Structure 1
Amino acid sequence: MKHLLIVILLLMSNLNFGQNSIDPTIINNSRKSCVKIYSQLGKSIGTGFFISDELIVTCFHVIAKLEVNGTNVNWSIFQDLIAITENGENVSVTCISIPNNMSSEPLFQDFAILKTSKIIKDKAILPLALNIDHKIGEPVIFSGYPLGTPVMVSYMGTISGITKDKSLICVQASTNKGNSGGALLNNSGEVIGIVSLREGGMVYLQDFKII
């Protein structure tokens, strides 16, 4: 059983790759693992990343229609989901796991696991971080498809603040709609979170488990 941290990434400031150094191999793996998640029926575009040969992690709000009514959340999963790699290869995907604690709270578990209909050969599989002892100033990177652009964009930022219980981390980074579901990587190339939301200037991390 592995632990993954959900990140709600909120817009702060634009950064460039010159501010901190991350191994080019990690940047390359971030991009090779990254896919665009698309639903024509739901008119939804987001990002996802491979955690195994057939499994992709993304945000739940990318692959489902959500309606919030008080403390209840009604939802329906889009049935025409497609994952698109950077080189343009398309593969249909099916949702096999969703959050087990749905609520209207802003920190509900915003993740989903998708299974591909075939094996994509030219990809990277990202390891999940087991150590959550993050440091202020630690560089992070994520890739995605902001605003549904046809070109994948990679971003670099830094951890700028951590609460004592490590439930809240502030990250200086830039993100836009369409980046949701992208993997946030540390300087060891491990997934420490998922880009989920932009608003204000903070990053929230919430623990969940993948069996």
Structure 2
Amino acid sequence: MTNQPLFELLQQCVVRLQLPDKLGTGFFVAPGLILTCAHVVSQSAGQSVNVYWEHQKETYTAVLDKQQSVDVEKIDLALLKLNGIVPSHSCVYLDTLAETGNKLYSYGYADRGELREGKVPNGEPVSFELEGRTGDDPPLLKFKQGQARPGLSGSPLLNQQTGKVCGVVKTTFNRDLDLGGLAISTKDVLSVFPHLLAVQEQFHKNNTDWSTRLPKPSPEVPSSKLADQIGIVLQDNSSVSIKDFRMN
């Protein structure tokens, strides 16, 4: 049984990222902060990225966040910070739980040929199934049974069992066939950006839009508390406040 209200909320958190010669997807993980793949914004160092927020039908600009300190050769991740003042918005709920066989859902701006015609694609959903983890260092999530076209890079990968985002879509196996692809796990997202842990906990404590749409807990699912899953004590991040990430 699908969770349409949660899918719709996920879509509200997703944005289209556009550079002069490429596009990709990103999503809100904290107020004003957008997570995506580094290769999507690799040409944006010191420059602004155009951000189209479909939910608000508005276009903004963003720059690489000052807390960016990623070895992009090893982990293909980037954090963008919106310029100026933006309306309040929801943020995805990050989670590290992902088991073989889990049904996955994503939403992004896959290119179906629009770019050749001088147009930009609209957002669209896609579903996958998790096959497991690769032997890479760090391991990547391997998913199947869905078409991951170019432009979907940087999209959130929602685990339908937990109702939370377990990864970031990184690459496809074939742009024309339903062969799935690879994603960066949320565990590695938090290893690169550990300050997001406290911000996530506080945001979803104050804003219950996501929590009220979660599926009923299953006996097979261990702790849903993010800090418990990755073994981080929140007191260590007590100096980090959600206010630090709001726009002035």
* TM-score between the two structures when normalised by the length of structure 2: 0.62
Instruction: Give 1:185's match in structure 2, choosing from 149, 158, 161.
Output: 158
Instruction: Give 1:82's match in structure 2, choosing from 38, 43, 50.
Output: 50
1: CA distance between counterparts of 2:23 and 2:123? 13
Q: Structure 1 residues 113, 162: CA separation in 2 closer, same or farther (over 3 Å shift)?
A: closer
**Structure having the larger proportion of residues in helix:** 2
Partner of 2:39: 61
Correspondence list, 1:94-173, <5 A: 94-96=63-65, 97-98=67-68, 100-103=70-73, 108-121=74-87, 123-129=89-95, 131-132=96-97, 134-147=98-111, 149-162=120-133, 167-172=139-144, 173=146
Greater mean alpha carbon deviation, residues 148-157 or residues 48-57: 148-157
* Superposed CA offset, 1:115-159 (max 9, x none): 111344364310110x43x22221111110011643110111111
Whether the 8 Å CA contact 1:99–1:110 is kept in 2: the answer is no
Q: Structure 1 residues 54, 139: CA separation in 2 closer, same or farther (over 3 Å shift)?
A: same
Counterpart of 2:79 in 1: which secondary structure?
strand
Higher relative CO (CA 8 A, sep ≥ 6), structure 1 or 2?
1
Instruction: Give 1:51's match in structure 2, choosing from 10, 29, 37.
Output: 29
1: CA distance between counterparts of 2:8 and 2:69? 29
1: CA distance between counterparts of 2:10 and 2:184? 19
Q: Structure 1 residues 94, 33: CA separation in 2 closer, same or farther (over 3 Å shift)?
A: same
2: CA distance between counterparts of 1:93 and 1:100? 18
- What displacement does 1:204 show? 5.2
2: CA distance between counterparts of 1:55 and 1:81? 13
Alignment RMSD (CA, Å): 2.6
- What displacement does 1:175 show? 0.9
2: CA distance between counterparts of 1:204 and 1:182? 9
2: CA distance between counterparts of 1:48 and 1:164? 26
Correspondence list, 1:22-33, <5 A: 22-33=2-13
Partner of 1:69: none
Which amino acid in structure 2 is aligned with residue 116 of structure 1? Answer: L
Q: Structure 1 residues 151, 114: CA separation in 2 closer, same or farther (over 3 Å shift)?
A: same
Whether the 8 Å CA contact 1:99–1:109 is kept in 2: the answer is no
* TM-score between the two structures when normalised by the length of structure 1: 0.71
Alignment length (residue pairs): 173
2: CA distance between counterparts of 1:55 and 1:152? 20
Q: Structure 1 residues 204, 95: CA separation in 2 closer, same or farther (over 3 Å shift)?
A: closer
* Superposed CA offset, 1:94-119 (max 9, x none): 1014453243xxxx211110111134
1: CA distance between counterparts of 2:25 and 2:4? 21
- What displacement does 1:163 show? 6.1
Q: Does 1:37 align with 2:7?
A: no
**Structure having the larger proportion of residues in strand:** 1
Which amino acid in structure 1 is aligned with residue 122 of structure 2? Answer: V
Counterpart of 2:127 in 1: which secondary structure?
strand
Counterpart of 1:28 in 2: which secondary structure?
helix
Counterpart of 1:142 in 2: which secondary structure?
strand
